[in-house]
Amino acid sequence: MAHLALIVASDGNNMKLAKDTGRLGEKKYQISDKKAEEAISTIIQWIGEDTGREGLKSTPERVIKAFKEYFKGYTQNPNEYLSKTFTEAEGYDDMIVEKNISIQSHCEHHLAPIVGVAHVAYIPSDKVVGLSKLARVVDVFSKRLQTQERLTSQIAKTIMNVLQPRGVAVTIDAVHACMTNRGIKKENATTITNCFLGAFKTDLSFQNRYLRFIKKD
């Protein structure tokens, strides 16, 4: 079942609650910033704090402002970043690997931070894309409520569908605060996920080379 997530309205003054299906514009409820701030104020009171004291008076407003930044991916279309491509690559047809793209996301189960890095590779067919655009695609999907498995798959499938390369590989190595700061509290635990499409899935030589590349310091 699709989860619900806050997204920023087009006017910048309201938040809208929508199903996160990976598609934009599937809006269900319209929630004003004021109502969202009231909800944060209620939570602060619920934990036993005084929302009237100096240090907390503006906290609900600051939290909502931060949420708009944390979850701005709901207002962005990752396909747009891949729309401008280049064919003047002098016949380059080997893999392109971009390593150590920082990730800051939030898990959909506890709203706890997910922090780590992504490695992205693709084997071009007849066109290449600017390197920064790969990082922007990672950022769009990271700025949504996520599971690491879905995040990995969304990045890979978007690059595959839009660029139509011979293959795509995505690896994410991240720390989940919901595991390190609560519950089982395993501070050193990390999670690694992979998604291989096209030649990276069917040809182990490509997959093995990619894995060697991302392991190099």
CA distance 176 to 53: 32
- Which among 107, 119, 146, 154 is annotated as catalytic? 107
109 is catalytic: yes
- Which among 3, 38, 69, 109 is annotated as catalytic? 109
Residue 36, CA distances (Å) to 29, 106, 147, 155 in order: 12, 18, 24, 30
195 is catalytic: no
**Tokens found for residue 146:** 């996520």
- Can you count the helices (H) and strands (E) in the chain? 8, 10
148 is catalytic: yes
Contact assessment for residue 124 and residue 88, using Cβ atoms and an 8 Å cutoff: no
108 is catalytic: yes
Q: Which residues contact 108 (CB under 8 A, 6 or more apart)?
A: 3, 5, 20, 145, 146, 147
**Alpha helix (H) ranges present in the chain?**
33-46, 59-70, 78-81, 131-142, 148-163, 177-180, 199-202, 204-215
For the chain, percent helix, then strand, then coil, each to nearest 5?
A: 40, 30, 30
106 is catalytic: no
69 is catalytic: no
178 is catalytic: yes
- Which among 37, 146, 148, 154 is annotated as catalytic? 148
Instruction: Catalogue the active-site residues.
Output: 107-110, 148, 176, 178
